[in-house]
């Protein structure tokens, strides 16, 4: 999960994302590159081989870049998206591509006047539950929200929302942990 959380992105990942954002904005390709990172992120989650290649210190950066650009080509990524992935890989940042994509998405959302929020539910939410949580978060933040939804059954019930480095924990697990702590100190 840490791969997705841009609050944990390295400074280098932030710089790469900003440079790609600037190039994409200038070329009027923000939407295309955003879709590129989305496709690449999906492939990353689904392919352990892709993750292994990107993270391997044994593969020469030039060879790694060629391999990742070939994957990007097969995924149908734009020319700018392929170049961004190739450049990051060649400069020994392939393992950070997911973080770069996450930061890039945040920059695009900010450009559109929206905020990216990660919402983790204890179970798969229905549309009305998801919409109610996203709407409440939007009101609290005073911004349009684009939510990335995931499920973590260890939460028992409720949800956790992450916005940048801030976290709102409305899970049953957190409440039980707080109760346990209170009972220990009593």
pTM of the model: 0.69
d(CA 73, CA 71): 5
Fold adopted by 6-109: Peroxidase; domain 1 (1.10.520)
What gap in Å lies between CA 164 and CA 162, rounded to an integer?
Answer: 6
State the residue for tokens 């391997």. 56
Q: Are 100 and 16 in contact (CB under 8 A)?
A: yes
How high is the pLDDT of residue 164? 77
Model confidence pLDDT, tens digit, residues 5-34 = 444 678 999 999 999 999 999 999 999 999
Delimiting residues of CATH 1.10.520.20 domain(s) in the chain: 6-109
Q: 156, exposed or middle or buried, with CB in 10 Å at 0-12, 13-18, 19+?
A: middle
> In 70-156, at which residue ranges do the beta strands (DSSP E only) sit?
114-121, 144-151
């Amino acid at each position: 999960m840490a791969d997705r959380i841009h609050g944990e992105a390295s400074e280098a990942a932030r710089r790469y994302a900003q440079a790609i954002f600037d190039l994409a904005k200038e070329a009027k390709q923000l939407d295309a590159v955003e879709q590129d990172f989305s496709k690449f992120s999906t492939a990353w989650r689904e392919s352990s081989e892709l993750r292994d290649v990107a993270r391997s210190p044994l593969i020469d950066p030039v060879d790694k870049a060629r391999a990742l650009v070939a994957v990007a080509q097969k995924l149908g990524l734009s020319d700018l998206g392929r170049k961004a992935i190739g450049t990051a890989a060649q400069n020994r940042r392939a393992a950070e591509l997911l973080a770069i994509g996450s930061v890039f998405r945040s920059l695009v959302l900010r450009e559109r006047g929206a905020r990216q929020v990660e919402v983790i539910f204890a179970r798969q939410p229905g549309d009305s539950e998801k919409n109610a949580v996203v709407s409440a978060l939007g009101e609290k933040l005073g911004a349009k929200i684009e939510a990335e939804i995931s499920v973590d059954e260890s939460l028992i019930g409720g949800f956790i929302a992450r916005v940048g480095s801030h976290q709102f924990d409305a899970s049953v697990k957190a409440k039980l942990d707080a109760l346990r702590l209170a009972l220990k100190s009593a």
